[in-house]
Amino acid sequence: MSPSGKPFWYPSSPQSSSSSMPQTPSDRWHGKMAHGVPIHVPSQDNINGDWSQATFTYDTSKGAQVSSLDDSSSPQSRDWPSTEKYYSTPMDRHASRCPRMTLWKTIALPTAIVVFPMAALVAGLLGLIFGYRVRSEDSLFAAVSNSDALSNYAVVLVHFSATRIAFVASWASTLAPLLATFVMNLSSFQSALAMFHASSGTEQRDLPTPYQYSLLIGLCLAEVGRLKRYFSYSRTDGIVIPPVLRRAARTMTVTLVLAVVIFSADTALHYTTSTINFDQVSTVSEMHTYGRGLSEECLILNRTENFGLPCSRNSDLAASNYYAFNQGQNEITFLEHDLSNISEVSLVLAPNQPPTSEHGMAVILLPQTAKVSPYQDYRATTAAVVTTCTPISAECQWKTWGPEDLYSQFNCSGNFYGVLGMAPNLTDTGVALDDSNVPPLGFKPGSALQYSFFMDQDLETPYDSTGVNGPVLEDSQLINPVYLGVAARVISSAQRAGVNMSGDPGVHQGPTQNLDFVLRCQYATYEADYVWVNSTARITSLTPSPNGTLAEIFHGFNIAGSYAAFDNDLSDDLLQSALQSDPQSMADDFANFYSIRVMSVIGPFLSSRMNLQEQVRTPLLVAKVPKAPLAILVAGCLAYIVFGLVSAVLAYRALDEVDVRDVAFRFSLSALGLQAFRDVVTENTATEVDAAGHRVFDEYKIRSETSRVAVEGEPANGFVLKSLV
C-alpha cells in the first residue's frame, strides 16, 4: 500500500512539486525506475500479510544486458508469469467493500431503467388485452353465429382499437435495444471485479490484451459493431479470449437476441392483428311475446250459434262491443296494406318441404318489425299461409259469343263454369241474383273475375262451411287446405312490354285483344317455427294446422252472394300478376298475393305468444389479436426484466465484495483517451474521493483540459496521434 492507503494503481491527488505538475501512477512508477530504486517481487513463499510496499529491481542498462526476450539464463523468465507475479496490497475486506448506500445508488438507476419501463409496458399491454377482452355467450342462431370467433383459441378478441394495441406493443421493440446500455452498465461491475481478481491473483493470463481491452470497453458501452468485431476476432487462429471479455460478449449477445426476439414478435403482432365485426351475445330470460297463435275469442266461438260464420264475422261481438268488432275489421285493411301498428304480414322463403308454392314462399304474421330492435333476435311460432296455383285454361272448354265476341264462356268442371266479359247479375244494392252463368256458391264481383271455393282439387264439390245450401259444418269437418278456382280476364296491353302470352296453352285468347285464363289454386294454413335474426325472418319448419279452423277464418269471411270493395284488391293482384313472363309465373305470383290476402284476414284474430328463444346482440368492432406473437412479445419483455434483475444482483455482489466502481467507470472512451494521451491534469480532475475514501473516476467532473490531440505524419509513412500540452 502507498502511504495514502490506496493501491499503487490508484491515481494520487495533485500535490505540489518542483515542476508544479501532479504525478500519475505511471509517473510515479517511472520515477522510481529512473532513480534505480531496487524493487523486487518476493516469491510466494516470502510474502507475508503485513508487507506494505512491493519492491522491484530496475535494469538501468535500459535493456543492454538483455540478450533475448526468451533469455534462457533466467529460469524464471521462461515460466513468466507463472513464477514472477505482481500482487496488489492485501486489503481490509470491510474497507474495500462499496458502502451500502453508495452501492444501492450505483445500481438502482440502471436497474430501474431496465425493469420499470418494461414492466409497465407488459402490465399496460396485458391490461389492455384482458381488461377489454370480449366475452360473449354463444349465439342461439347460426345466422349471427359467433362460435367461430369464440372457438378460435389462437386469438384474443379485444374491444379496443387494434391500432392503439399495436402502438403500445411497438414500444417494446423501441425500448429493447435502448436498455442494452444499462444492462451492460450493470454487467461492467462484474467484469471489473473479474479483472481485479485476475490482476491481483495467479490468473494473470485471464487479463485482456490492450486490443481486447478496447473490445471490452466497446461491449460495456453496448456497441453492436464491437460485438461483431469480437466474433470475427475470436475466430482468428491463436487468439485466446480472456473470460472477462467472453462474459461481456455473452451478456451483450443475450441483450441483442432478446431485442431481436421482441422486434420479431412485435412485427408479427402488427402484421397479424386485425379488426373484425363481432356480435356480443347475451341471452334473455324474460322474453317478449312476438309469437302468434289463435286467439281465445276464436277458440271459444260457437260457429253454429254465429250463423256458421267464423270469428272474423263475430256477430255476438258486433252486438255487444261494436268498437272491438270494428277494430278487427279495420286491422284486416291495415294488414293488407302494411299499415298496422300491431302486426305485419311478411312473405318468407319456406323450407323445402311440401306443399309449398312454386316459388317456395310462405306468408307469416310478425309483430310490427319497426318496434323490434335490430339487435334483438328471437325464435317464435306463428301462423303461416302457403298458396299454390296452376294454370288450367287448356283443361277447360271455351266458347266465344256475345256482342262483338266479347264473351268468353268457360267450363272447367260441373261446378266451376261461367262467362268472362259478361257483367254480374246484381240488384241495385249489390246483392247477387240468380244467374245461370254463375255456379252455386260462386263469386262474381265483376265482368272480368269469377271464383269459387271447393273441397277437392277437381273443383267439383263446393265448400259450403256456413250452411248456405245445407247444414253448418262442424269444426272437425272444416278442411285444410281449401281449394279455389279463379277465372279472370286482362287486356293484352296489361302484359309486360315485349311479352306475349297469347299463344301459350295456359291462356285463352278469342278474337278480341283480351286474355282469359283459369287458375286452380289451394291455400293451406300452418304453424310456422321461425327465427328473426338480423331483422330478417327465416322459417325453420312448417307444421300443417291440425284442422280447418284457421283456414275457415278467411273462407267464412267471404259471404256468398255479397260483394264488397275487398274484392277490388283481388282484381289488382291479378293485374300485377299479369306482368310476369309466362302463365306459370303469373300463377305463382298470384299465389303469393293471395297468401297475403288470406293472412290479412286471419291475422287480426291471432293473439301473442311467448318467444321460444331470445337474445340481444351488441355489434362491436373488435381487435383480433393472435396469442402466439403476443405471448412471445410478453415473454421477451419478461426475459429482459429477469435478465436486468440478474445483472443487478451480480453487480450488487461484485460491489459488495470489492468497490470496483473506479475500474468499471474506466470502461469508457473518455478514460481510455485520458490514459492513452497521458492527460494528467484532466485525469486527476475526473477522479473524486467519496465519503468512504474510495477514489472513483467520473468523467462528468471534466471541466477543462490542458492538452490537445494532434496528428503527425504523412500518407506515405502513415500518421500517429500525439499529445500536445
Averaged pLDDT for residues 125-134: 93
Least confident of 92-106, 161-175, 180-194, 516-530: 92-106
Least confident range from 120-134, 237-251, 288-302, 550-564: namely 550-564
Identify how many contiguous H helices and E strands the chain contains and give both numbers.
19, 20
Q: Residue 347 and residue 530: Cα distance in Å, rounded? A: 12
Model confidence over 637-647: pLDDT tens digits?
999 999 999 99
The answer, yes or no, to whether residue 548 has pLDDT greater than 80, is yes
Please give the Cα distance from 649 to 643 (Å, whole number). Answer: 10
Looking at the DSSP assignment, which residues form a beta bridge with residue 386?
Answer: 524
pLDDT in tens, 195-248: 998 888 777 788 999 899 999 999 999 999 999 999 999 998 888 999 999 999
pLDDT at 162: 93
> Do 56 and 39 meet the contact criterion of CB atoms below 8 Å apart?
yes
- pLDDT at res. 308: 92
Mean pLDDT for the stretch of residues 369-378: 93
Residue 164 pLDDT > 70: yes
Q: Which 8-state DSSP code applies to residue 292?
A: E
**pLDDT at position 90:** 57
Note whether 570 and 336 are within 8 A (CB): no
Give the per-residue pLDDT at 431: 66
Query: One-letter amino acid identity for 81?
Result: P
Q: Which residues pair with 687 in a beta bridge?
A: 697
CA atoms within 13 Å, Cβ hemisphere of 469: 10
Is residue 481 reached through a cis peptide bond, with omega within 30 degrees of 0 on the bond before it? yes
Residue 294: how many CB atoms within 10 A of its CB?
19
Per residue in 465-511, pLDDT (tens digit) is 999 888 999 999 999 999 999 999 999 999 999 999 988 999 998 88
Alpha helices in 132-285 (DSSP H): 147-151, 162-200, 210-220, 224-234, 243-272
DSSP 3-state of 565: coil
Residue 138: pLDDT band with limits 50, 70, 90: confident
pLDDT band for 84, please (50, 70, 90 cuts): very low
Residue range 252-274, pLDDT digits in tens: 999 999 999 999 999 999 999 99
Question: What backbone torsions phi and psi does residue 544 show, to the nearest 5 degrees?
Answer: -55, 140
Q: 720: Cβ–Cβ under 8 A, 6 or more apart, which residues?
A: 711, 712, 713
Residue 120 contacts by C-beta under 8 Å, 6 or more apart in sequence?
A: none
pLDDT of 41-70, one tens digit each?
A: 344 344 333 333 333 333 444 444 433 334
- What are the C-alpha distances in Å from 112 to residues 107, 160, 186? 8, 30, 11
- The answer, yes or no, to whether residue 424 has pLDDT greater than 60, is yes
Report, as an integer, the average pLDDT of 104-122: 94
Residue 474 grid coordinates: 262442424
